[in-house]
Amino acid sequence: MSREPAPTTEAVSRLIQELNKLPGIGPKSAQRIAYHVLRTGEMENQSLAEAILQVKQRTKLCSVCLNVSETDICHICSDEPRDRTKICVVEQPQDILALEHTRKYNGLYHVLHGALSPGEGIGPDDLRIQELLDRLRQGTVTELILATNTNLEGEQTAMYLQRLIAPLGIRVTRLARGLPFGTELEYADDVTLSRALEGRQEF
């Protein structure tokens, strides 16, 4: 078998391969970015490389809501004027970004770090549900807003939490149906997300 001559250097190929592993970056985009990096000055590349390395080193999870944070308690949990009677449950930290962007919510959050998916072997013990129950047992929270994605996994997770938490006497609501089925919160637009939040219903 004859091999085609390599169209580029090993270093460039390696960068393309690494970029191609990122979500939303297909082979074409990976090539474009790799050649862009090659043209870019050393200072800028250094800055990019450092940002990638430091993001893990300087970021931990908030000990209360499990959002990403540089401090032990994140800026949302330590924001005194926030409404501490409401907790909005999301799958991933980036969902908090989307909800905060709407400026329609002033309560606290809880990040599950995933969704139930029996097919992939992800059960309740793989999510940060125990931490949520511990927070609810403190007695301050009166409403729990389930803001998991509207896909199959997100709906299963919402139903599981509803059954678990309703007996505790806490009002459980779900984002309004304005969000089309299959929506991942982080990609929902501000207007749709604001409406879904304002029109939340008993679940």
| Residue ranges in contact with Zn ion by CB under 5 A | 62, 64-65, 67, 74, 77
Measured CA distances, 24 to 19, 21, 27, 28, 142 (Å) = 10, 9, 10, 11, 38
Q: Least distance to Zn ion from the beta carbon of 79, Å? A: 9
Evaluate whether 109 touches 88 at the Cβ level (below 8 Å). Answer: yes
Closer CB to Zn ion, residue 87 or residue 179? Answer: 87
Closer CB to Zn ion, residue 34 or residue 136? Answer: 136
**Alpha helices by DSSP H, 71-189:** 93-102, 129-136, 152-165
Q: Least distance to Zn ion from the beta carbon of 127, Å? A: 17
Closer CB to Zn ion, residue 65 or residue 193? Answer: 65
Q: Report the candidate in 62, 65, 18 with the shortest Cα–Cα distance to residue 37.
A: 18
> How far is Cα 66 from Cα 73, in angstroms, rounded to an integer?
9
Q: Least distance to Zn ion from the beta carbon of 75, Å? A: 8
Q: Least distance to Zn ion from the beta carbon of 66, Å? A: 7
Closer CB to Zn ion, residue 90 or residue 116? Answer: 90
Closer CB to Zn ion, residue 53 or residue 133? Answer: 133
Report how far Cα 160 is from the mean position of its chain's Cα atoms: 19
Q: Characterise 74 by phi-psi region: left (phi > 0), alpha (psi -120 to 50), beta (else).
A: beta
Longest dimension (CA), the chain: 70
Closer CB to Zn ion, residue 19 or residue 96? Answer: 96
Q: Least distance to Zn ion from the beta carbon of 73, Å? A: 6
3-state secondary structure of 109: strand
Q: Least distance to Zn ion from the beta carbon of 24, Å? A: 27
